[in-house]
Chain A
Amino acid sequence: MDNKYLDNIINELKNYDGPEIRLMEVCGTHTAAISENGIPSLLSDKIKLISGPGCPVCVTVTAVIDRLIELSLMENTCVLTFGDLIRVKGTKGSLADAKGDGARVKMVYSPMDSIKLAKENPLMNYVFAAIGFETTTPVYALLIEEAKKLGLKNLKILTSLKTMPEVIRWVVKNGSNIDGFIAPGHVAAVTGGKIFEELSKELQIPFVVSGFEGEQLILTIYALVKMAGKGGYKNLYKSVVSEAGNLQAKEMVEKYFETSDSFWRGIGKIKGSGMTLRPEFMEFDAGSIGLDEDHEPAGCRCASVLVGAISPHECPLFGKKCTPDNAHGACMVSTEGSCYNYFISGR
């Protein structure tokens, strides 16, 4: 990109002096990329970036963590999970804490690793902690397909799968005063950009689908500033995101999962905001239904941070009792969490 063009845009954003504009990024990877690129330091104080409920670890309710711990302590059972989730606290500590009590918990880098483990150790029952958004769900569908094909009886998933549109509606309807959304590029690559175009029309708020490089985020923010108050939709990540999305991935998800109500940390139930295994594939489910309880640690304000109602700095625990090495809330645990990113990059 022409540097001068970018410099002019950055200059305009730094000197913006109109009415305050509140922009929300709903994707945890965007939250991390905004911090990594030092973007807040390039914007006028009147342009506020607010992190939304797009970090999968952060929106998982404590009942899911508790259930995983329960499973990990069962005989011949091993819980497989991505790294971040290991340190998130349930009502009685985290999976990492449970390891000290003899729990079997193994960190994996891809859900497909669990196929190999289940094949090699037929006497061990494996449960994969299947959390994530539209981006990750197709991989879980592949996992079930493969497990079915191989006839694996010792591999199940515990699902806490979320989808974006309903929670975005919830955020808008519950008074977060958002003037524009940085739409999640990875989610849109799977779902297609169209669902965000539809949301922009329905909610009368602008949506811009964005990539994850610094320049791309600056252009997205610039577009949203220009569109604020007028609504509209733009896809600035066309190299990856089509309007229809990844049809093959969507088909796979459709085959194994169905839309369900889902429970979100600090929000509660949102109708049609999740995915669970279809009834015919429930043999692969490790008890995901009805995990709705949610208990935040005392003083933790993750729930308000998640929906953009307060900034991490407004939580009384932030940076004092709650730091990445001693995280109280999930938003401080995950490298995509708002609190973690505000803390480590000095936002």
Chain B
Amino acid sequence: MKITMAHGSGGESTSRLIEDVFAKYFNNEFLSELSDSAVVPGSSKLAITTDSFVVTPILFPGGDIGRLSVCGTVNDLLMSGAVPKYITCGCILEEGLDMEILEKVIASMAETAKEAGVIVVTGDTKVVEKHSDVSGLIINTSGVGFIPEGQIIPGPSKLEDGDKIIVSGNLGDHHATILGSRMGIENDIRSDNAPLVEMTRKLMDAGLIVHAMRDVTRGGLGTVLNEFVNASKCSIILNETDLPVSASVKDFCGILGLDPMYMGNEGKMVISVSAKDAEKALLLIKESKYGENAKIIGEVKKEKESSDNTNVIVTTKIGGKRVVGPMYGEGLPRIC
């Protein structure tokens, strides 16, 4: 069966779609009421975020837009030191979308939400006419997380001299997956889309001094680290040989002229942690789900090298030094 404009009419077809797909998979006491808004227990300090997801293809190796839409929002909450609790699900469906695909995506959302420990408490669907640039489904998720009492909230302006920079795993997997799918290139690269609940929880519970924490999404590690140095007025010196990139992604980048430093990820984070806690933090991340390839990749120097955007420096494999600026443009493959 395909999605038709009737599924967005607000009438019987809409009700059936919600019952048969959304309520079926997101089954919980808050959503099952199907009321105008969800009424949920709260906390004294909340973290709130929202994100919209448009990706072609909808289903890709290692994941799908549903999993992505939960991970993106959950990870944003985690990076603020929050414990993610509730998320919403707004779907814009294109007429002609295969019901089977929709069901797959929603089931995947439900499974990911369960893994991440969040409840989908409310949602909305709209159906739009076919549009050539979208591949059938756009999802918006908003999320609410509770900030535990006394929690120190990490931030990009809190880096300190001597901090170690840790990245939680291989760079560029998601970006390479999507680009590879679009280009019809067959390889073994899979998206890293994942909720980083376990590793962030372990770091917080251990009481380690994490000064900054960010998920490394669009713009890549280069862009995040530039935000860090600009906000904290410091430099970061990275060691190229320590940057974790899988052999397949390395080859893929070599062919297309892409730099993993600027490639998007959907299940990676970077932290700046005090030197004395660095080894312990690394171990905790490595022991967590999705953290097995974590690495210490560099360190923070409090004095600034020079003007903005020139303070992230990589020592290359042959000992050269190069500046890593933020990403400019769209990270397009070069030709020739």
**Do the two chains belong together in a single complex?**
yes
Please report the C-alpha to C-alpha distance between residue A136 and residue B336 in the assembled complex, in whole angstroms.
Answer: 6
Residue in B closest to A113 when the chains form the complex, CB atoms: B183
* CB proximity of A85 to chain B, nearest CB, Å: 8
Q: Does B289 contact A (CB under 8 A)?
A: no
Q: Decide if A83 touches B330 in the complex (CB within 8 Å).
A: yes
Contact of B333 among A82, A215, A218 (CB under 8 A): A82
Cβ of A195 < 8 Å from any Cβ of B? no
Is A110 interfacial (CB 8 A cutoff)?
yes
Question: Which A residues touch B323, using CB under 8 A?
Answer: 344-346
- Given known pairs A32-B257, A83-B330, the reply for A37 and B317 (CB within 8 Å) is yes
Tell me the residues in window 14-56 of chain A with beta carbons closer than 8 Å to chain B beta carbons.
27-29, 32, 35-42, 56
A324 to B182, CA, bound (A): 26
When the two chains form their complex, are residues A37 and B320 in contact, meaning their CB atoms are under 8 A apart?
Answer: yes
Query: Contact size class for B?
Result: 20 to 34
**Which chain B residues in 303-336 approach chain A with CB under 8 Å?**
310, 314-325, 328-330, 332-336
**Is A109 interfacial (CB 8 A cutoff)?**
yes
CB pair A38 B320 closer than 8 Å? yes
Whether A29 contacts B257 by the Cβ 8 Å rule is yes
Q: At the interface, yes or no: A294 with Cβ under 8 Å from chain B?
A: no
The reply on B259 being an interface residue by CB < 8 A is yes
**Who on chain B is nearest to A55 by CB?**
B336
A107 / chain B contacts, CB cutoff of 8 Å? 332
Q: How far is the CA of A264 from the CA of B333 in the complex (A)?
A: 23
Complex formed: what's the CA distance from A6 to B317 in Å? 12
A225–B321 alpha-carbon span in the complex (Å): 21
A90 at the binding interface (Cβ < 8 Å): no
**Roughly how many angstroms separate A110 CA and B220 CA in the complex, as a whole number?**
24
CA distance A132 to B335 in the complex (A): 8
A188 to chain B: closest CB distance in Å? Answer: 13
Inter-chain contacts of B6 with A (CB < 8 A): none
| CB-based contact B317/A214 at 8 Å | yes
Q: Please tell me if the beta carbons of B320 and A84 are within 8 angstroms of each other in the complex.
A: no
Q: Indicate if the CB atoms of B322 and A36 lie closer than 8 Å.
A: yes
Q: Out of A10, A82, A132, A324, which one reaches B328, CB within 8 Å?
A: A324
* B contact face: mostly helix, strand, loop, or mixed: loop
| Interface membership of A87, Cβ < 8 A | yes
**Shortest CB–CB separation between residue A300 and chain B, in angstroms?**
18
Least Cβ–Cβ distance between B176 and chain A, in angstroms: 13
Hey, what's the 0/1 contact readout for B281-297 against A, CB within 8 Å counting as 1?
00000000000000000
B256 interface hit (Cβ, 8 Å): yes
- Contacts A28-B334, A57-B335 given; indicate if A42 touches B322 (C-beta within 8 A): no
Residues of B within 8 A of A35 (CB): 322
- A38: nearest chain-B partner, CB-CB: B320
Residues of B with C-beta under 8 A to A186: 336
A334 close to B (CB within 8 Å): yes
A56 and B329 in contact, given A6-B318, A37-B316, A218-B318 (Cβ under 8 angstroms): no
Whether B320 contacts A346 by the Cβ 8 Å rule is no
B336 touches A42 (CB 8 A): no
In the complex, A224→B324 CA distance in Å? Answer: 28
Encoded as 1 (CB less than 8 Å from any A CB) or 0, chain B from 236 to 266 comes to 0000000000000000000011010000000
Residue A191, interface by CB 8 Å: no
Asked whether A181 is an interface residue with its Cβ less than 8 Å from the other chain, the reply is: no
Interface string of A104-139 (1 = CB under 8 A from B): 000101100100000000000000000111011000
- The CA-CA distance from A42 to B319 in the complex, in Å, is 8
Residue of A6, A136, A324 near B329 (CB, 8 A) is A324
What is the bound-complex CA distance between A107 and B183, given in angstroms? 11
- The answer to whether A37 and B318 touch across the interface, beta carbons within 8 angstroms, is yes
A36 to B262, CA, bound (A): 13
The docked-state distance in angstroms from the alpha carbon of A345 to that of B320 is: 11
Residues of chain A lying within 8 A (CB to CB) of residue B318: 6, 10, 37-39, 42, 214-215, 218
User: Which residue of chain B has the shortest Cβ distance to A319 in the bound complex?
Assistant: B307
C-alpha gap A7/B320 in the complex (Å): 12
Q: Determine whether the beta carbon of A41 is less than 8 Å from that of B322.
A: yes
What residues of A have a CB within 8 angstroms of the CB of B257 in the complex? Answer: 29, 32, 335-336
Closest CB of chain B to A116's CB: distance in Å?
9
Question: How near does chain A come to B272, taking the closest CB pair, in angstroms?
Answer: 22
Interfacial chain A residues near B259, Cβ < 8 Å: 36
| 0/1 interface trace, chain A 135-151, chain B, CB 8 Å (1 if under) | 11000000000000000
Closest A residue by C-beta to B310: A346
Please, which residues of chain B bring their CB within 8 A of the CB of A56? 335-336
Interchain CB contact under 8 A, A42 and B333: no
Please give, as numbers and ranges, the residues of chain B lying within 8 Å of A42 by CB-CB distance.
318-320
Q: Contact: A41 with B320, CB < 8 Å?
A: yes
A-contact 0/1 string along B180-209, CB 8 Å cutoff: 001100000000000000000000000000
Please name all residues of chain A whose beta carbon is closer than 8 Å to the beta carbon of B319 when the two chains form the complex. Answer: 7, 10, 38, 42
Distance, CA A334 to CA B259, complexed state (A): 14
Q: How near does chain B come to A110, taking the closest CB pair, in angstroms?
A: 7
Chain A residues near B314: list those with CB within 8 A. Answer: 38
Tell me if A343 counts as interface (CB < 8 A to partner B).
yes
A325 within 8 A of B: yes
CB <8 Å contact, A109 and B183:
yes
A204 cross-chain contacts in B, Cβ below 8 A: none
Alpha-carbon separation in the docked complex, A27 to B257 (Å): 14
Interface check A176, CB cutoff 8 A? no
User: In the assembly, what is the distance between CA of A308 and CA of B78, in Å?
Assistant: 50
| Set of chain B residues within 8 Å of A335, measured between Cβ atoms | 257, 332, 334
Least CB distance, A156 to chain B, in whole angstroms: 19
Note all chain A residues with C-beta closer than 8 A to B333.
Answer: 82-83, 109
Please give 5 more A-B residue pairs, beta carbons under 8 A apart, in addition to A40-B320, A82-B335, A346-B325. Answer: A29-B257, A38-B314, A57-B335, A83-B332, A325-B328
Give 27 pairs: A residue, B residue, CB < 8 Å, sorted on A.
A6-B318, A27-B336, A29-B257, A38-B314, A38-B316, A42-B320, A56-B336, A57-B335, A82-B333, A82-B334, A83-B332, A84-B334, A109-B333, A132-B336, A135-B336, A136-B335, A214-B316, A324-B329, A325-B329, A334-B334, A336-B257, A336-B335, A340-B328, A344-B328, A345-B323, A345-B325, A346-B322
A-B complex: 6 closest residue pairs judged by Cβ atoms: A38-B320, A83-B332, A346-B323, A324-B328, A38-B322, A214-B318
